[in-house]
């Protein structure tokens, strides 16, 4: 009889009949099937051509069949449910891709069924655990080539040989240069000091001290004694990675050679092998080695020894020739070793190697790990997944292993596999962790309570990690050894190793399971001999049976500001100690979760904690958003309510962070410390300063908003209050560039002054705009400040333009002049603005960046003398004209770009790029970069141009420039744009669709097949198109959002590397991807191209369309691809194009194309369409 668990497992899967009933009920909800269902309802009226197109479809018993199989609509989880039946259920047995597809396809079908099956099987956790990982093709990583004999040596033991006297092992030592081997018999229990004696006798005394050693991770070789000795002698030891002896290949290849020899000559009893070792050593050293092409003996000594006594003279060089002979011979050996190394590297290049990012998860091959389970046949084939914490080399990674796995944490990449997850499927939590000794181990997540028994022993209520709350009710008696080395704590509240339920020690105990009380309350209870849990006298909290009660003093009062002030005063922050105290758990607990938005970044989850005396932020957030940090003069110690210190120890750094909450900008100090699941904690300091309003019933928090008496004007008009704040000290000599005094002066006339030349026709006057009282007051203050600075003056001009306020994202308003009428009559300046892609192409190989933002850059350019009257603007307070160039003038961008280009003409494209008032300085290293920044600041100071210090960024490894994130790795989307796309609501009008397309179009360079994906939305905004938002448009909208969210990093184009161009064409469009191979030996995209065919191109045959795709791609990326030294590899799935360049006869069109491509160095390579990536999506 089958066990009940099997039936439970089968019952967990939805019955197939129930799914078929759901298919019948939900069939009409799939809009993609509407046309098919409509045709089948009245099939007789359709013309023969239409009936032929639908001949494979038929309706029967309320179900739609395709070629005799039930067609499953794309509604709800129907397809997922079927995949579970035919793959996950015990009756299916987790088959592979093809078997699952065959089982499912017997009765069911839907478009894309093969892809869905593959994704489901690949992301199945059970399959990834239990199936053998496929062998990976890993490129060889040869060792460094030494320059002389016995400079590098490798050694290893051959163990488990029959006992011959005291000897049971052989120590194998190989010289990496000559491949000369030593074979030394030794006892099985050879220890590190004995090993040193063997080295001294056989290696160091004869050949000198090596510089580097290579061995496996045997306990003798990895001994502290040997490591200390090597360090003292200046020897660099290297070890093979865990479970991968091939990384110590020199001796591993010698081991079978010796075993083969001894197998041939040892006696039947196998007890005389030691006497054969010298001859085995001679035989090995006298044979030619494949790497050097010489025998190890000749490579070391310069001649070949005689194998047996003979009259044939041995070729022994004369003494005076020996030095020359050996030098020449060593050069030949070094050359042969390098060639061998190159062959190893080239030997396996048919597959792009596997690689992992830091923080990525990986499976670990379990075949070599001794788990000692009841049966290895039923043990998982892969362990994990484990997080990658460090990349040791291209072929070795460090994993974050559980403490129960007593193995080295560095593994060869061939033992690792990628983890594939499907977010829609939850993975099983598998406690307890796997151990190496086969016994169960339980991890303690937290101590929930404790008590002292009559016999003086302590019992603890334990929360076991990985188990549900029902297990918490079981009290498990822990002996004196649990917690370690703590027989009987005098006070459980002071025992950091056995935390009490009311104590936070930085362990994995979740905040929801804790009770917190203030230090004031603890001191008061102790003074009165009261229990801090229930408040009664006569016993301690550790043995309290009543449990926690909320003290009356902690209940919220009406005047929360006074209460917070009292708490803050009671917990002062000392110079080197900080008290981190939290208040009690109940329905009135003052722990609130909010989201704050970092300046120009995404939102982060933040905990408001009335018990925290200051603010904290996670180091992960600091690292993720590259927030500048400040080193504290003295480290701070976070002290818990019981006097204990969390595991992270002292705090050495803080950060001053500007963020937004409830639309309000605010700046506060944060200590950098691990704080559990939250990104940041706001404490008493923040609450006291900002005084938010808290609704305790709804647990909502908001900041009071007072009615403004004036309109907030854009902040960049003003200089920084502390202009040098955030500016590196070495640049303080340029204080004038960042100062307020110089900024408020009228700039001098230069030959770059903007002139305004008018045409003859058209009006030049516009009526005055109305304003609110608040805007009027702000306008008057603005006029007074500009008149005082001399940047405007009263005017008697015959023309005027009105002023208005334009809202900004941060809630402030920008005052601008509406110069539309003036611009219509102004002759246009056609000086070009630089193309962003041309600017970005200059940043390759740059490692360090500094971005300077000019403070109201346009105001640093004067209006040409005699043209000031043309800038006149009217207000309710009079007519004024501007003496400096202002926003809104049509020629302002061109004039300012001309000014900046001429000012930095000698630096442009060398280490500076400029787009209007945005200056980006880039360098290869820190030393060069500092000199470059000095040069730019000197020229700004000389030209009397000024920077906004708070918007400048110095010496960054990445920076936001022209809307994208620039780093040494390439270009990526910034967090705000990704978040804006993720949160974009579904459009309801044509204008909303246009708005989304306009925003998405800016990001199209990061999205493959952008035009193809956006086509349904473009069709919707065409003229005379009726608004209809269907499933097709929704799919396009969601697809674009997902593609932008998952946009890749576009690599820098490097002219010294080879380019790879993948092209493809369909009936309506062409597409291509330009890539280069990066340091990880993978192809990384530089850009994507997708264009529709126009005019006669639509009628080209397949050959010409595929050829046109190559031509358009080369022309599109001409700035990168023209005149390359390395040939461009062009991949196409049209075989006939492979020999097109070598053709001797062309028609007229092909001849023209051939001339167009003459400037490009490229080769066309055929690759089948099934191997193509993104370009082939068009087909």
Which whole number is the average pLDDT over 936-946? 88
Q: Is the pLDDT of residue 167 over 90?
A: no
- Which residues make Cβ contacts (< 8 Å) with residue 863, sequence separation at least 6? 753, 754, 755, 756, 871, 882, 883, 884, 885
Q: What torsion do the CA atoms of 988, 992, 997, 998 make, to the nearest 10 degrees?
A: 180
pLDDT at position 937 is: 92
Q: Measured between alpha carbons, how far is 937 from 728 in angstroms, rounded to an integer?
A: 13
Q: Which two tokens stand for residue 1165?
A: 């390579």
> pLDDT value at position 1051?
84
Closest by alpha carbon to 259, among 183, 191, 203?
183
Query: What does the block give as tokens for 670?
Result: 């944060």
pLDDT at 1164 over 80: yes
CB 443 within 8 A of CB 465: yes
Task: Indicate the angle between helix axes 975-982 and 1031-1045, nearest 10 degrees.
Answer: 160
5-38 pLDDT, tens digit each: 444 444 455 677 788 888 888 888 888 887 788 7
From 163-172, 351-360, 673-682, 1010-1019, the region with the lowest mean pLDDT: 351-360
In the predicted structure, residue 922 carries a pLDDT above the cut 90: yes
Question: Quick check: 175 pLDDT over 60?
Answer: yes
Structural contact between residues 969 and 957, judged by C-beta atoms closer than 8 angstroms: no
Query: Distance (Å, rounded) from C-alpha 716 to C-alpha 831?
Result: 27
User: Where do we find the tokens 């990349």?
Assistant: 391
Mean pLDDT of the chain: 74
State mean pLDDT over 970-988: 79
Q: For 473-520, how does the pLDDT look when each residue is reduced to its tens digit (9 = 90+)?
A: 334 333 333 333 333 333 333 333 333 333 333 333 333 333 445 556
Contact indicator for 55, 105 with CB cutoff of 8 Å: no
Residue-level pLDDT at 1009: 72
Q: What is the pLDDT of residue 481?
A: 30
CB-count burial class (<10 Å; 0-12, 13-18, 19+) for 1085: buried
When comparing pLDDT for 912 and 976, which is higher? 912
What is the predicted pLDDT for the residue at 349?
47
What is the per-residue pLDDT for 601? 60
* Digit-coded pLDDT (tens) for 591-631: 677 888 876 566 788 888 777 788 888 887 887 777 877 77
Task: Give the pLDDT band (50/70/90) at residue 1033.
Answer: confident
CA-based nearest residue to 371, from 460, 294, 437, 307: 437
pLDDT digits (tens, 9 = 90+) for 265-309: 776 667 788 888 888 888 888 888 777 777 888 888 877 777 655
What single-letter DSSP state applies at residue 863? B
Give me the domains of the chain, ranges plus CATH numbers.
4-122 (1.10.340.70), 152-305+320-345 (3.30.420.10), 350-438 (2.30.30), 560-581+590-705 (2.40.70.10), 715-968 (3.10.10.10), 972-1045 (3.30.70.270), 1059-1178 (3.30.420.10)
pLDDT at 456 over 50: yes
Q: Does residue 1150 surpass a pLDDT of 60? A: yes
pLDDT band at 340 (very low <50, low <70, confident <90, very high): low
**pLDDT, greater one: 444 or 360:** 360
Q: Which one-letter DSSP state was computed for residue 721?
A: S
Q: What percent of the chain has pLDDT over 90?
A: 3
The position carrying tokens 């709800």 is 76
Of 459 and 254, the structure prediction assigns the larger pLDDT to: 254
Task: Using a cut of 0.75, tell me whether the model's pTM lies above it.
Answer: no
Q: Which residue has the tokens 């502290």?
A: 224
DSSP state string for 336-389: HHHHHHHHHHHTT-SSPPP---TT-EEEEE-TTS----S-GGGS-SEEEEEEEE
Task: Name the more confident of 91 and 1034.
Answer: 1034
> With the CA atoms of 1128, 1134, 1136 and 1139 taken in that order, what torsion angle do they form, in degrees rounded to the nearest 10?
10
Q: What pLDDT does 921 receive? A: 93
pLDDT(544) > 70: no
pLDDT digits (tens, 9 = 90+) for 705-754: 544 444 444 444 444 456 677 788 888 888 888 877 666 778 888 888 88
Helix pair 113-122, 97-105: axis angle to 10 deg:
140
Q: What is the pLDDT of residue 913?
A: 92
- In the predicted model, what is the mean pLDDT of residues 243-255? 56
Task: Tell me the average pLDDT across 64-74.
Answer: 87
Is the pLDDT assigned to residue 214 strictly greater than 90? Answer: no
């Amino acid at each position: 009889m089958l066990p009940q668990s099997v039936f439970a497992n089968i019952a967990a899967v939805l019955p197939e009949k129930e799914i078929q009933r759901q298919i019948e009920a939900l069939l009409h909800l799939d809009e993609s099937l509407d046309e098919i269902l409509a045709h089948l309802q009245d099939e007789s009226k359709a013309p023969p051509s239409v009936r032929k197109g639908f001949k494979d479809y038929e309706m029967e018993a309320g179900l739609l069949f395709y070629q005799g199989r039930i067609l499953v609509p794309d509604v709800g989880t129907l397809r997922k449910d079927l995949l579970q039946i035919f793959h996950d259920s015990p009756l299916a047995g987790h088959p592979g891709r093809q078997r699952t597809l065959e089982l499912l396809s017997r009765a069911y079908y839907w478009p894309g069924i093969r892809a869905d099956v593959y994704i489901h099987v690949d992301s199945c956790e059970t399959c990834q655990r239990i199936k053998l990982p496929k062998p990976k093709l890993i490129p060889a990583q040869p060792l460094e080539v030494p320059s002389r004999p016995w400079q590098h040596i490798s050694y290893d033991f051959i163990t488990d040989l029959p006992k011959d006297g005291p000897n049971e092992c052989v120590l194998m030592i190989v010289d990496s240069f000559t491949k000369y081997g030593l074979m030394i018999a030794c006892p099985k229990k050879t220890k590190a000091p004995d090993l040193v004696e063997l080295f001294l006798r056989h290696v160091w005394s004869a050949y000198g001290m090596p510089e580097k050693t290579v061995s496996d991770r045997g306990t003798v070789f990895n001994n502290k004694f040997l490591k200390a000795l090597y360090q003292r002698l200046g020897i660099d030891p290297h070890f093979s990675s865990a479970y991968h002896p091939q990384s110590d290949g020199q001796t591993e290849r010698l081991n079978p050679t010796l075993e083969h020899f001894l197998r041939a000559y040892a006696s039947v009893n196998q007890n005389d092998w030691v006497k054969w070792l010298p001859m085995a050593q001679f035989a090995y050293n006298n044979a030619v080695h494949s790497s050097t092409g010489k025998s190890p003996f000749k490579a070391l000594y310069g001649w070949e020894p005689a194998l047996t006594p003979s009259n044939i003279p041995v070729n022994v060089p004369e003494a005076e020739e020996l030095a020359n002979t050996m030098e020449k011979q060593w050069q030949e050996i070094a050359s042969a070793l390098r060639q061998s190394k190159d062959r190893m590297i080239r030997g396996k290049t048919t597959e792009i190697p596997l690689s992992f990012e830091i923080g990525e998860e990986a499976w670990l091959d379990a075949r070599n790990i001794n788990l000692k389970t009841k049966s290895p046949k039923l043990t998982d084939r892969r362990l994990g997944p484990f997080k990658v914490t460090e990349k040791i080399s291209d072929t070795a990674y460090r994993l974050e292993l559980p403490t129960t796995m007593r193995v080295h944490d560095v593994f060869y990449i061939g033992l690792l596999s990628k983890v594939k997850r499907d977010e829609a499927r939850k993975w099983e939590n598998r406690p307890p962790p796997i151990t190496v000794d086969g016994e169960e181990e339980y991890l303690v997540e937290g101590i929930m309570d404790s008590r002292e028994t009559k016999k003086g022993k302590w019992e603890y209520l334990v929360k076991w990690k990985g188990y549900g709350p029902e297990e918490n009710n079981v009290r498990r008696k822990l002996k004196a050894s649990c917690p370690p080395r703590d027989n009987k704590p005098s006070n459980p509240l002071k025992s950091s190793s056995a935390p009490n339920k009311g104590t936070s020690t930085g362990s994995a105990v979740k905040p929801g399971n804790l009770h917190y009380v203030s230090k004031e309350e603890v001191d008061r209870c102790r003074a009165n001999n009261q229990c801090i849990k229930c408040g009664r006298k006569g016993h301690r909290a550790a043995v309290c049976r009543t449990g926690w009660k909320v003290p009356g003093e902690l209940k919220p009062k009406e005047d929360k500001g006074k209460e917070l002030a009292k708490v803050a005063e009671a917990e002062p922050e000392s110079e080197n100690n900080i008290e981190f105290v939290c208040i009690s758990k109940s329905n009135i607990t003052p722990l609130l979760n909010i989201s704050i938005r970092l300046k120009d970044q995404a939102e982060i989850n933040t905990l408001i904690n009335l018990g925290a005396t200051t603010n904290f932020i996670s180091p992960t957030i600091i690292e993720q958003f590259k927030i500048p940090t400040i080193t504290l003069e003295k480290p701070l110690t976070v002290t818990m309510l019981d006097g204990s210190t969390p595991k992270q120890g002292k705090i050495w750094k803080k950060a001053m962070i500007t963020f937004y909450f409830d639309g309000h900008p605010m700046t506060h100090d944060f200590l950098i410390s691990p704080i559990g699941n939250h990104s940041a904690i706001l404490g008493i300091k923040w609450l006291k300063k900002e005084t938010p309003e808290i609704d305790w019933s709804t647990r909502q928090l908001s900041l009071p908003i007072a009615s403004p008496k004036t309109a907030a004007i854009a902040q960049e008009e003003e200089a920084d209050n502390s202009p040098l704040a955030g500016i590196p000290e070495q640049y303080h000599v340029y204080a004038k560039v960042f100062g307020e005094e110089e900024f408020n002066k009228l700039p001098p006339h230069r030959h770059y002054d903007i002139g305004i030349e008018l045409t003859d026709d058209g009006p030049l006057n516009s009526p005055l705009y109305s304003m609110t009282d608040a805007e009027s007051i702000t306008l008057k203050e603005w006029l007074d400040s500009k008149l005082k600075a001399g940047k405007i003056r009263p005017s008697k001009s015959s023309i005027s333009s009105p002023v208005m306020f334009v809202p900004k994202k941060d809630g402030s308003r920008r005052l601008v002049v509406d110069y539309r009428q003036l611009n219509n009559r102004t002759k246009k300046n056609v000086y070009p603005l630089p193309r962003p892609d041309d600017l970005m192409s200059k940043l390759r190989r740059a490692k360090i960046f500094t971005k300077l933002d000019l403070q109201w850059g346009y105001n640093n350019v004067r209006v040409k003398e005699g043209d000031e009257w043309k800038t006149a603007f009217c207000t309710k307070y009079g007519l004024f004209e501007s003496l400096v160039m202002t926003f809104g003038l049509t020629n302002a961008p061109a004039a300012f770009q001309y000014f900046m280009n001429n000012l930095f003409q000698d630096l442009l494209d060398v280490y500076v790029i400029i787009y209007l008032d945005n200056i980006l300085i880039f360098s290869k290293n820190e030393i060069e970069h500092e000199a470059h920044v000095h040069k730019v600041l000197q020229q700004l100071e000389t030209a009397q141009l000024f920077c906004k210090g708070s918007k400048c960024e110095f010496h960054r490894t990445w920076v936001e420039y022209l809307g994208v994130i620039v780093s040494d790795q390439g270009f990526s989307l910034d967090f705000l744009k990704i978040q804006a796309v993720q949160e974009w609501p579904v459009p309801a009008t044509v204008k909303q669709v246009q708005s989304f397309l306009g925003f998405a179009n800016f990001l199209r360079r990061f999205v493959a097949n952008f035009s193809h994906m956006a086509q349904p939305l473009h069709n919707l905004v065409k003229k005379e198109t009726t608004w209809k938002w269907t499933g097709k448009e929704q799919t396009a909208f969601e697809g674009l959002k997902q593609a932008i969210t998952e946009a890749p990093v576009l690599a820098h184009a490097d002219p010294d590397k080879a380019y790879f161009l993948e092209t493809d064409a369909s009936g309506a469009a062409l597409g291509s991807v330009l890539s280069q191979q990066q340091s990880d030996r993978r192809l990384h995209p530089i850009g994507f191209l997708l264009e529709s065919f126009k005019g006669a191109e639509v009628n080209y045959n397949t050959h010409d369309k595929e050829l046109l795709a190559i031509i358009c791609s080369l022309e599109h990326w001409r700035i990168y691809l023209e005149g390359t030294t390395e040939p461009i590899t062009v991949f196409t799935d049209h075989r006939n194009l492979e020999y097109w360049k070598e053709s001797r006869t062309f028609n007229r069109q092909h001849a023209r194309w051939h001339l167009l491509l003459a400037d490009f160095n490229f080769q066309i390579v055929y690759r089948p369409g099934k191997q193509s990536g993104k370009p082939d999506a068009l087909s």
